[in-house]
Amino acid sequence: MPDPAIPTPSKPRLLRALAGEVLDRPPVWLMRQAGRYLPEYRALRSRAKDFIAFCLNPEMAAEATLQPMRRFPLDAAIVFADILLVPLALGQKVWFEEGEGPKLGPLPAQAELEVSLDAVLGLLAPVGETLADVREALEPDRALIGFAGAPWTVATYMIEGGSSRDRARARGLAYQDPARLDALIEVLVEATARYLTLQAASGADVLKLFDSWSDNLPEDLFERLVTRPHGRIVARLREAGVSAPVIGFPKGAGALLEAYAAGAGVDAVALDVQAPAALGQRLQKRLPIQGALDPLLLRAGGAAMDQAVDRMIGQWNGGPYIFNLGHGVVLDTPVENVERLVARVTGWGG
Ligand code: CP3
């Protein structure tokens, strides 16, 4: 029997919220909390040969992961990596051009992708090392998040060859060659499940699936390309014995969010900036939610940001809730604003 007089190491606040607890104040972390808005990140980044080499260098990636943890009293770290490491591990060329975002070479043939599945864990092993190093350095009451891009979003980059305004080629493929797209999604389900299993085994306490391009899909395609693949990944993780909670982020899902929450098998849903208060509250009856301050309001800061923080905590902290943005911190965000935001959330009610 544990002696109640001896305090047990406190369970990370993020894990408590993910277990469905309603807390005095929500845990807080921020998508893209590591990155170019931090001067120390820019200094570190300038020492790397290129962005991919940076992500695959455990020492540098661990340092980038920890930088925001030293500055702010955040409740969780997210491993420094990128969703496009999976296409790279599957044998597609990936590089980042300064100021232009990611570029990808031609999509490998399906048979080649399937053969490459066996090499995925070898190439992504450095991310496991980063996680292990960060977990060791991080205080036990702060959670460590691992992540991957969800199959559909990663497939859009693989098909389009980079970022694109409306992903018309990728969405068109769903009609023009459904078998080809489904086979690609299938490879990505498998690669992603293996990668996330590696991350959990390396020290990730929580896993997150980023489906950044879930918008603009008709209901049937959304079910086929977003909800079902997320469900298959979660099922594969559980089969592999991974118990870490999974946060799903179907960005832009809009009216399909509740169907997603009911069908994707995830343990929590991350909301984007447009999610209505009442929708969040309905979702909280089923599972914890995360979100969803506008990153542009974080960049703007001031009283308007403070008011939005108060409103969001007021509307959602009656259920299991994780404070975050609705998308990543933008490049030219003043560091003082992040400091002010995190202080406001962590000081809530105090
Ligand atoms: O702090 C964190 O959130 C962890 C690290 C992280 C990065 N990318 C680092 C990164 C995470 C979680 C991602 C996810 C990611 N990457 C997504 C999903 C989330 C989202 O934003 O929708 C996507 C779509 C990508 C693909 C990607 N990577 C793009 C489109 C770009 C270029 C955009 C840009 O800001 O330049 C990247 C590069 C990237 N990934 C950077 C960082 C810090 C900037 C590159 C640099 O520092 O040179």
- Protein residue closest via CA to atom 25 of ligand 1: 83
Q: Which DSSP string do the residues of 78-111 spell out, in sequence order?
A: E-S--TTHHHHHTT--EEEETTTEEEE-PPPPHH
Band (97; pLDDT cuts 50, 70, 90): confident
Other C-beta atoms lying within 10 Å of the C-beta of residue 258: 14
What pLDDT does residue 98 have? 82
Query: Is a pLDDT exceeding 60 seen at residue 6?
Result: no
Band (349; pLDDT cuts 50, 70, 90): confident
- Protein residue closest via CA to atom 13 of ligand 1: 82
What pLDDT does residue 8 have? 53
Pocket probe for ligand 1: among 55, 83, 157, 324, the residue whose CB has the most ligand atoms within 8 Å is 83
Average pLDDT over residues 254-274: 98
Question: What does the pLDDT look like over 177-215, one tens digit per residue?
Answer: 999 999 999 999 999 999 999 999 999 999 999 999 999
2 vs 136: CA distance, rounded Å: 25
Question: What does the pLDDT look like over 123-153, one tens digit per residue?
Answer: 999 999 999 999 999 999 999 999 999 999 9
